[in-house]
A = this chain, B = another copy of it.
């Protein structure tokens, strides 16, 4: 009878335990969990604080009793594994209620200890009594009870990642005025800047004060004041620190398990660590980026759950290699859905990849059917292989669907051109006869076939400053409502008639609102012998990006 010890009883660990038992009724499975709860809904915690999730027990996906009964597990909560001795194949566990330590032998260990919130040693932090991080149920209880009892009026959320944004939203739901401080020049690092701009705009509309390119220097007055790097002082009644998480790899390191310099546990494709019979999964490990084929760290629940199942399979003799993580992610930010998969442009630039970019702004479904809203969709592909490298989407409806389709296309090795051929379900309440994802394939085919040349929003100003001709092909009223400096308005409708006015010896840059009419104009121009270049994503991408620069 095999004796398997699992360290960590939530997403990865609990899933591994359940799968192990399903595959094998005899194994002795001991699940150690430092905290009081196992199998809780990490991802639901912000929404309980915001009272969208009303009952606390909903957060407990499984209880110790339920799991013990169903899966015949030996679950030991409030018990921390404090040491692993891989030579003697024993661990040392500490009962956190009694303080008693004891030794337990093992045949196999699964480490799924997760990642913990990063808390820098800010000056004054130790004296602050209103600063919280959010990882588990006790954290949640603390924050909720602080909000319920102290009724804070102002909150500062430090860090604009998805947990920071979810907390910002949920504090606003509780009637609190929120300031968001973010060191980078944008929130949501997986997005590129012009896509993040849409989120910035939306946060602004919801009354959140956004302080970008600034960070916490010190806490003052027990946390009532924060001094920022810029020298600015901001005041608040509660602070949420959400500047990222770091893999919990101390236990592993001390057991001489190889660990990445940035902290994650190193594993091979079967989740084996450098120590025999010790496996690791979830937020604590370094994984392979599915696209970049490089080591990376992607702390998400989907991968943790899948890895939990796979590690159980591997331990019990099914050899299943893990092919890497795409990093598909999504967050609700008030009415917006913000989703990404694969690599973004920043990363591709830093790698000097030969990539191409497409921005489109289609409707979530047929515009003649009520409720359609725009989706801003950016897709990146490899100029040489035409492989899809990554995608980003922001919008109110239908964002998750398009990102999942693209993530599936990547996994199925479809080229950017093959997106045009996808046969997606269509009826007016759900999509358009040409789905946004198909449209990306169309636009790509035009670029690849040299039917359309494009430039990006960040290339426009310099061109115009250097005297390039930029034509805004929108209608007069649209132009009057705001336009790119230096652009000349010749609407698509008039374009054919005004061709004689244009200098055919110089390239003509063209833009419209979202890119479609600009493309139509380019086709007319090219067919008449001009070199025409479309501003990808149109004024919409340009203007928002510039506004939130």
List B contacts of A59 (CB < 8 A): 368
Q: From the candidates B332, B428, B523, B527, name the one contacting A427 in the complex (CB within 8 A).
A: B332
Across the interface, do A41 and B366 meet the contact criterion of CB distance under 8 Å? yes
Question: A548 at interface (Cβ–Cβ under 8 A)?
Answer: no
From the candidates B11, B41, B369, name the one contacting A53 in the complex (CB within 8 A). Answer: B369
Q: Are the C-beta atoms of A405 and B403 separated by less than 8 Å?
A: no
> In the complex, which residue of chain B has the Cβ closest to the Cβ of A420?
B306
| Alpha-carbon distance A23/B325, docked complex (angstroms) | 40
* Chain B residues whose CB sits within 8 angstroms of the CB of A405 once the complex forms: 404-405, 408
User: A505: CB under 8 A from chain B?
Assistant: no
Supply 17 further A-B pairs (C-beta < 8 A) apart from A47-B369, A401-B401, A405-B405.
A23-B451, A41-B368, A43-B427, A52-B370, A53-B370, A70-B520, A72-B496, A162-B427, A302-B433, A306-B423, A323-B421, A325-B423, A327-B423, A404-B424, A409-B411, A411-B421, A412-B412
Determine the residue in chain B with the shortest Cβ distance to A529.
B25
- Look across to chain B and name the residue whose beta carbon is closest to the beta carbon of A492: B70
Residue of B339, B427, B430 touching A425 (CB-CB under 8 A)? B339
Question: Could you tell me if B400 and A337 are in contact, using CB atoms closer than 8 angstroms?
Answer: no
CB pair A411–B407 under 8 Å, yes or no, is no
* Residues of chain B contacted by A431 (CB below 8 angstroms): 400
**Does any Cβ of B come within 8 Å of A22's Cβ?**
yes
* B421 lies within 8 A of A451 (CB): no
Residue of B nearest to A61 (CB): B368
Contact with B along A43-78 (1 / 0, CB 8 A): 110010000110000110100000001101000000
* A425 near B341: Cβ-Cβ < 8 Å: yes
User: Who on chain B is nearest to A22 by CB?
Assistant: B523
A370 to chain B, nearest CB (A): 6
What count of chain A residues pass the 8 Å CB interface test?
88
Determine whether the beta carbon of B330 is less than 8 Å from that of A427: yes
Answer yes or no: A447 CB below 8 A from chain B CBs: no
Q: Please name 25 pairs of A and B residues whose Cβ atoms are closer than 8 Å in the assembled complex, sorted by A.
A: A21-B523, A25-B528, A26-B527, A41-B368, A43-B433, A44-B368, A47-B428, A53-B368, A53-B369, A58-B368, A70-B492, A70-B520, A300-B426, A302-B434, A302-B438, A305-B434, A306-B421, A328-B424, A330-B425, A330-B426, A332-B427, A341-B425, A401-B401, A411-B422, A412-B413
The residue in chain B whose Cβ has the minimal distance to the Cβ of A409 is B408
| B-facing residues in A71-122 (Cβ within 8 Å) | 72
- Contact pick for A418, options B329, B337, B411, B428, CB 8 Å: B411
Closest residue to A528 on the B side, CB-wise? B25
- Does A423 contact B43, Cβ atoms closer than 8 Å? no
The answer to whether A524 has its CB under 8 Å from any CB of chain B is yes
Counting from the closest, the 6 A-B pairs by CB-CB distance are: A412-B412, A25-B527, A330-B425, A401-B401, A58-B368, A301-B433
Interface residue? A331 (CB, 8 A): yes
Contact A302 B435 (CB under 8 A): yes
Cβ contacts under 8 Å, A302 to chain B: 423-424, 426, 433-435, 438
Q: Which residues of B have CB within 8 Å of A300? A: 426
Q: Which of B412, B423, B524 contacts A326 (CB 8 A)?
A: B423
Q: Complex: how many Å from CA A181 to CA B431?
A: 29
Rounded to whole Å, the gap between the CB of A197 and the closest CB of chain B is 21
Expressed in whole angstroms, the Cα–Cα distance for A303 and B425 within the complex equals 10
Q: What's the minimum C-beta distance from A436 to chain B, rounded to whole angstroms?
A: 11
Q: Is A275 close to B, CB under 8 A?
A: no
> A404 with B407: in contact, given A318-B449, A330-B427, A421-B306 (CB under 8 Å)?
no
The distance in angstroms between the C-alpha atoms of A41 and B428, with both chains bound, is 9
- A429-B527 contact, Cβ under 8 Å, with A368-B58, A492-B70: no
CB–CB B451/A22 < 8 A:
yes
A442 within 8 Å of B (CB atoms): yes
Q: Is A474 located at the chain interface by the 8 A CB criterion?
A: no
| Complex CA distance for A326 and B411, rounded to whole angstroms | 19
Report the nearest B residue to A290, measured CB to CB: B423
- B residues in contact with A323, CB < 8 Å: 421
Residues of B within 8 A of A329 (CB): 425-427
**Distance in angstroms between the alpha carbons of A426 and B23 in the assembled complex:** 27
A256 within 8 A of B: no
Interfacial chain B residues near A420, Cβ < 8 Å: 306
With A52-B369, A449-B318 already in contact, the answer to whether A341 and B423 are too (CB < 8 A) is: yes
Q: Let me know if A129 is at the binding interface, CB within 8 A.
A: no
A24 in contact (CB, < 8 A):
yes
Q: Is A414 an interface position by the 8 A CB rule? A: yes
Interface assignment of A309: CB less than 8 Å from any CB of chain B: yes
* A493 lies within 8 A of chain B by Cβ: yes
Binary B-proximity of A327-346 (CB < 8 A = 1, otherwise 0):
11111100001010100000
A492–B67 Cα distance when bound, in Å, is 12
Q: Indicate whether A304 reaches chain B with its CB closer than 8 angstroms.
A: yes
Instruction: Provide the bound-state CA to CA distance between A186 and B201, in Å.
Output: 49
Cα A443 to Cα B52 in complex, Å, equals: 32
A306 and B438 contact, CB distance less than 8 A: yes
The interface bits of chain A over 211-231 (1 if a CB of B lies within 8 angstroms of the residue's CB, else 0) are 000000000000000000000
CB nearest to A21 among chain B residues = B523
Which residues of chain B come closer than 8 Å to A429, judged between CB atoms? 332, 337
